[in-house]
Amino acid sequence: GQQVMQIPQYQHVQEGEDFTTYCNSSTTLSNIQWYKQRPGGHPVFLIQLVKSGEVKKQKRLTFQFGEAKKNSSLHITATQTTDVGTYFCARAREYGNKLVFGAGTILRVKS
């Protein structure tokens, strides 16, 4: 139905390695949001993607929205220990009366 699937569930990388998390939906998404939650913290908004094929960058983070608007990815280049946390994608309705979150990808970084 309306769920978004995230893979992988967990990734442990060496500092400096790259990291990617994927978000997939069986239905077309009007838009997708990404959030980061540090351990013990609350979700913090990273970005919203709206257009088919959209690519946005925030420093070492690159976000993509698939051409069919059914999948999205977050790629982190050269991870740092400050990147540790859980990354969630969330599908948002056009008139946004709720967000449906994926289960998240936990990122751990070894220094």
What residue ranges bind other proteins (CB under 8 A)? Answer: 33, 41-45, 48, 88, 90, 92-104
∠ CA(78), CA(4), CA(71), 5° rounding? 60
Q: How many angstroms separate the Cα of 11 from the Cα of each of 8, 38, 95, 109?
A: 7, 15, 33, 8
Task: Identify which of residues 39 and 59 has a Cβ nearer to other proteins in the complex.
Answer: 39
Residue 51: which residues within 8 A CB-CB, separation 6 or more? 65
Taking the complex as a whole, the smallest distance from the CB of residue 43 to other proteins amounts, in Å, to 5
Task: Identify which of residues 58 and 80 has a Cβ nearer to other proteins in the complex.
Answer: 58
Task: Identify which of residues 66 and 104 has a Cβ nearer to other proteins in the complex.
Answer: 104
Taking the complex as a whole, the smallest distance from the CB of residue 73 to other proteins amounts, in Å, to 17
Taking the complex as a whole, the smallest distance from the CB of residue 13 to other proteins amounts, in Å, to 19
Yes or no: say if 92 and 103 are a contact pair by the CB < 8 Å rule.
Answer: no
